[in-house]
A = this chain, B = another copy of it.
Amino acid sequence: MKLQKNDRLLFIGDSITDCGRAHPVGEGSSGLGHGYVAQVYALLRSIYPELMLRLQNVGNSGNTVRDLKQRWQQDVLDLKPDWLTIMIGINDVWRQFDHPLADSQVFLEEYEATLRELVASVRPNLKGLVLMTPYYLEANPEDPMRATMDIYGEAVRRVASEYDALFVDTQAAFAPLWDHFYTSVLTHDRVHPDATGHMVLSKAFLDAIGFEWTRNTKS
């Protein structure tokens, strides 16, 4: 397990992270929203009560990496977390497909450069960094939006390897489910999953930080 006693973890991202969190900074049983951040909190606290971990959520619905940059000082640097988790990019891609005529778009070059800049600014002060890819809940890798999302995910992978971050490939984490379900089972818009889909994200995150699921299972 990579986390240590009293570590404080900050999560930033879009609506998948937000999920109705409290403002200005979501924390505690009623402040983390109802998505993967809240699930991770319940699992960490119930199975590692002695670690006395704090989780904080500053995800904002609809955000792109450009929005994160705007609020990076206040919502990340000023909070001085021990660990930081970033999952961003879904809206950067989605807006190109559902509002193609919108005035400005976050294309790949800006996306990767901004993500790298943000990571670079905070990495030295962190005990640990987790980068989670954006995803699209579509099984067909040739679907135009899925294909674009995968390309953005590769950018996350590059930044993660450059900055010694734990890398979570969320798109890959969902793949096993598509052998058994059509994606509508989890989501109608292919972006916002139900609690099962969030649990896929939670498990992928916890596996990445070395969570020992069976540490206090009675044998």
Contacts and interface: CB of A to CB of B under 8 A. Distances in A.
A213 B216 contact: no
Number of copies: 8
Contact of A207 (B49, B179, B218): B218
Given A42-B39, A99-B28, A52 B195 contact: no
Size bracket, chain A contacts: 35 or more
Interface in A17-50: 28-30, 34, 38-39, 41-43, 45-47, 49-50
Interface of A: 6, 28-30, 34, 38-39, 41-43, 45-47, 49-50, 52, 54, 94, 97-101, 140, 142-145, 176-177, 179-182, 184-186, 188-191, 194-200, 203, 207, 213-214, 216-218
26 contacts: A29-B194, A29-B195, A29-B196, A39-B195, A41-B195, A41-B196, A42-B195, A42-B199, A45-B196, A46-B177, A46-B200, A49-B177, A50-B180, A97-B182, A98-B188, A100-B181, A140-B140, A140-B142, A140-B143, A145-B184, A176-B216, A188-B188, A188-B190, A189-B189, A213-B214, A213-B217
